[in-house]
Amino acid sequence: MKYEDGVLHLHQSDLCNLRMCPEQTRLKLTGEYFDPSGDSAMIGTQTHSFIEFCLFKRKNENIWPEPEALQQKVDELQVEWAQMWEDNQIWQHPHQIESMEQGQAFIEQACLNWWANCRPAFDDLDTTDWLIEHDFDYHLGWINARAITKAEIGDMIQNETFGDFENRTEVRLRGQIDFFASACINDWKTSKAASGYNLWKLERYDIQSYVYAWAIQQELGFIPNFIYHHMARGTDEYKFNLVEATQANIDAMKQEIMSWAQTIVTMGTEQEWPKGPADWWCSSRWCSHHARGLCVGSVNQIFPEDAVNLTRLMK
């Protein structure tokens, strides 16, 4: 999230963040939140690089990489990972990745999992409309920091001054689509257990698919389907979920985002925003403010041993 020069830029992850803990989002906006690259996120980043490499080869040269090239790419990604681990560039979450070697094994497994379970679905597709790691940044709407009174509107019309409207905030939504092909968005997830991703949960809570479907609608004029591809870390388990967005889903998503945007602009960042709800397990696993002992949030009975020392990353 970024708010400057009258433009509020939001990313779908900001929306997930706002729903889970508005205060953490405020800290990110003010720059007070220490946001290191986490180990599990880096497994995902390396896997995305592998997939991107394969898809660009197929799109640009109309062939998939040869087995030696695939192995070479995995080796490169593992060496990069080892370097980041050795250089202490990665925040080692408790209970996530136990060692540098385990991380390397997870990267290889996730790449092979995608190659074996996911890639065959794209074998016969025409590559002309493929979008790979596609950035978007679109105007969503305008908001005023406060409601304008009737009298002010009268003054504005009479004096032909529209100062307050000129000071309004533009809301923009941006993000990166992993892969678009044949009227469908594909998103790669490397998670702990693929089986935990159920369609009903996505339909009830997910916002990413609707944001991305809206972005393609802006660009190509139709609402695409959205497929989550889940590749479980450390196993060959694979699962996909198809989310079919409707115009109503997209309109509701836009209203939710505009209401968050209004809240952000109206409240400002001086005062604390609400913390995550009591049933949200604040944990050092996903909140560095918690890990640094700066916020305890709600009491965490589940992972009491989570306290980690981040000082080595903050030199």
Burial profile 247-276: b = 16 or more Cβ within 10 angstroms, e = fewer: eebbeebbeebbebbbebbeeeeeeebebb
Q: Applying CB under 6 A, which of residues 21, 90, 213, 257 lies at the interface with ligand SF4?
A: 21
In the complex with ligand SF4, the residue whose CB is nearer, 32 or 244, is 32
In the complex with ligand SF4, the residue whose CB is nearer, 224 or 297, is 297
Give the position of tokens 């695939």. 70
Q: Applying CB under 6 A, which of residues 23, 108, 178, 306 lies at the interface with ligand SF4?
A: 23
In the complex with ligand SF4, the residue whose CB is nearer, 169 or 284, is 284
In the complex with ligand SF4, the residue whose CB is nearer, 183 or 278, is 278
Between CA 99 and CA 107 the distance in angstroms is 13
Take residue 172 and report the two structure tokens written for it: 């923009």
Measured from the CB of residue 285, what is the shortest distance to ligand SF4 in angstroms?
Answer: 10
The burial class, CB within 10 Å (0-12 / 13-18 / 19+), for 9 is: middle
> Is residue 265 within 8 Å of residue 4, measured between CB atoms?
no
Between CA 151 and CA 155 the distance in angstroms is 6
Q: Which residue is nearest to ligand SF4 (CB)?
A: 297
Task: Tell me, residue by residue from 237 to 276, as one string, x for binding to ligand SF4 by CB under 6 A and - for no binding.
Answer: --------------------------------------xx
Q: Applying CB under 6 A, which of residues 1, 8, 18, 24 lies at the interface with ligand SF4?
A: 24
Burial profile 46-59: b = 16 or more Cβ within 10 angstroms, e = fewer: bbbbbbbbbbebbe
Measured from the CB of residue 280, what is the shortest distance to ligand SF4 in angstroms?
Answer: 7
Decide the pairing of beta strands 238-244 and 225-232: antiparallel
Segment 278 to 307, residues that bind ligand SF4, using CB under 6 A: 282, 287, 289-290, 295, 297
Residues whose CB falls within 8 Å of the CB of residue 53, separated by 6 or more in sequence, listed in order: 65, 73
Binding footprint of ligand SF4, residue count (CB under 6 A): 11
In the complex with ligand SF4, the residue whose CB is nearer, 243 or 282, is 282
Q: What are phi and psi of 78, to 5 degrees?
A: -70, -40
In the complex with ligand SF4, the residue whose CB is nearer, 44 or 276, is 276
Measured from the CB of residue 295, what is the shortest distance to ligand SF4 in angstroms?
Answer: 3
In the complex with ligand SF4, the residue whose CB is nearer, 185 or 282, is 282
Measured from the CB of residue 12, what is the shortest distance to ligand SF4 in angstroms?
Answer: 18
Residues whose CB falls within 8 Å of the CB of residue 300, separated by 6 or more in sequence, listed in order: 281, 282, 283, 290, 306
Measured from the CB of residue 138, what is the shortest distance to ligand SF4 in angstroms?
Answer: 29
Residues whose CB falls within 8 Å of the CB of residue 17, separated by 6 or more in sequence, listed in order: 24, 25, 28
Measured from the CB of residue 18, what is the shortest distance to ligand SF4 in angstroms?
Answer: 11
In the complex with ligand SF4, the residue whose CB is nearer, 148 or 296, is 296
Asked if 38 interacts with ligand SF4 (CB under 6 A), we say: no
> How many angstroms separate the Cα of 216 from the Cα of each of 57, 135, 225, 250?
23, 11, 10, 11
Which residues of this protein are in contact with ligand SF4, per CB under 6 A? Answer: 21, 23-24, 275-276, 282, 287, 289-290, 295, 297
